[in-house]
Amino acid sequence: MKPARLVAIVFLTFVGISALVPRLWTPDSYETQLREAPDAPPSARFPLGTDALGRDRMARLLYGTRVSLTLAPAAALLSCIVAALVGGLAGLAGGWTERIVLAGLDLFMSLPWLFLLLTVRATLPLNVSALASLSITFALLGLLSWPASARVVRAAIHGLRDSDFMLQARASGVTPWRLIWRQLIPNVMPVLLAQFWIAVPVFILAEATLGMLGLGVSEPLPSWGSLLRELEGGNLRSQPWMAAPAVLLAAVVGCFQLILPREDYSI
């Protein structure tokens, strides 16, 4: 394994553990308000200072990391499941079903993904609870991003459908369900896994963009997107520690890029 890849894995593990057990670094919760210390600069008690409401920025960053790093893979999993179902159906059925599915995919892909996210998010209520906004944001990420993966799955299944081993299995009387379960799914799994790992950093970035535009996870729940939104009200020159969420986001996405096969990371 290349040293850069190893460093990336170690870093991601470190960030993951810190996000899962934030108490290792800070005693406060993301919503604990310390009214006597609003806008406090970094100190031993608050390594990244406090925000305007007196909440520990370090705690909010760690809890926000937990939200983004847990839900981006969940959204990626949802996207892969939908892609597998739709792409699998098109690849296996062929004919008119395949054509209709392909037309649907063309329709989805005729709009830039971010614009689609923005439009669909706008049709849903904006003033909702933090938990509801969290569910909406990541469900939308998962449900609107499957078309590209579905195309890849369809192409993979199309190739497998006419392969020799499938023909042999069919000729020896294997039932269609068994054929799918024992032959197709294991062979498509590497494609789906690659799609999953490509989607995770993309979803992290998309959530950050939605959050910065005010359409992501709402207060008081932190996520990288909502933390980055605070940059708009702050001054990076006098408070450079406010850039911590951006630095962590870039580092984590950069590490994902190092772990992924280079050819596969193509947005």
Partner 1 sequence: MKLFITQLGRIVALVFLAGLASALLVRFSPGSLVDERELDPRMSQQTLAALRAKRAGENSLRSGFVQYLRGAVRGDLGESTSRNAPIADLLTQNAPATLRRLAIGLVGAWIGGLGMAILVARFRRSRIMESTTSVAAGVLLSLPAAILAYFCLTAGVAVEVVLILVLVPRVFRFTRNLLVQAYGSSHVDMARARGISETRILFGHVCRDAAPQLVALIAASLSMAVGAIIPIEAICDAAGLGRLAWQAAMSRDLPLLVNLTMLIALATTAAMAIAELTLLGRGESNS
Q: Give the closest residue to 224 by CA, choosing from 77, 38, 69, 117.
A: 69
Rounded to a whole number of angstroms, the minimum distance from the CB of residue 115 to partner 1 is 6
The verdict on 96 binding partner 1 (CB under 8 A) reads no
Across the strands, what pairs with 56? 50
Element (H, E) at 132: helix 130-144
Please check whether residue 49 is in contact with residue 93, taking contact to mean a CB–CB distance below 8 angstroms: no
Structure-token match 């207060």, residue found: 219
The verdict on 253 binding partner 1 (CB under 8 A) reads yes
The verdict on 100 binding partner 1 (CB under 8 A) reads no
The verdict on 251 binding partner 1 (CB under 8 A) reads yes
> What is the SS3 assignment for 41?
coil
The verdict on 208 binding partner 1 (CB under 8 A) reads yes
Map the footprint of partner 1 across residues 176-205, applying CB under 8 A: 201, 205
The verdict on 213 binding partner 1 (CB under 8 A) reads yes
Report CA 5 to chain centroid distance, whole Å. Answer: 20
User: Per CB under 8 A, which region of 80-88, 140-148, 168-176, 209-217 contacts partner 1?
Assistant: 209-217
Rounded to a whole number of angstroms, the minimum distance from the CB of residue 205 to partner 1 is 5
What one-character-per-residue DSSP string does 182-243 give?
IIIHHHHHHHHHHHHHHHHHHHHHHHHHHHHTT-SSPTTS--HHHHHHGGGGS-TTT-GGGG
Burial class (CB in 10 A: 0-12, 13-18, 19+), 133: buried
Rounded to a whole number of angstroms, the minimum distance from the CB of residue 265 to partner 1 is 8
Tell me the per-residue interface mask from 121 to 160 with partner 1, x by CB under 8 A, - otherwise: xxxxxx----------------------------------
The verdict on 111 binding partner 1 (CB under 8 A) reads yes
Q: Which amino acid is present at 26?
A: T
The binder of partner 1 chosen from 140, 212, 227, 260 (CB under 8 A): 212
The verdict on 236 binding partner 1 (CB under 8 A) reads yes
| Closer by beta carbon to partner 1, 155 or else 185 | 155
The verdict on 3 binding partner 1 (CB under 8 A) reads no
The verdict on 171 binding partner 1 (CB under 8 A) reads no
The binder of partner 1 chosen from 38, 42, 81, 113 (CB under 8 A): 113
Q: What does the CA dihedral 19, 63, 210, 264 come to, rounded to 10 degrees?
A: 0
| Closer by beta carbon to partner 1, 107 or else 189 | 107
Q: Give the closest residue to 158 by CA, choosing from 85, 106, 87, 80.
A: 87
Binding site for partner 1 (CB under 8 A): 106-107, 110-115, 118-126, 201, 205-206, 208-209, 212-215, 228, 231-232, 236-237, 246, 249-251, 253-254, 257-258, 263, 265-267
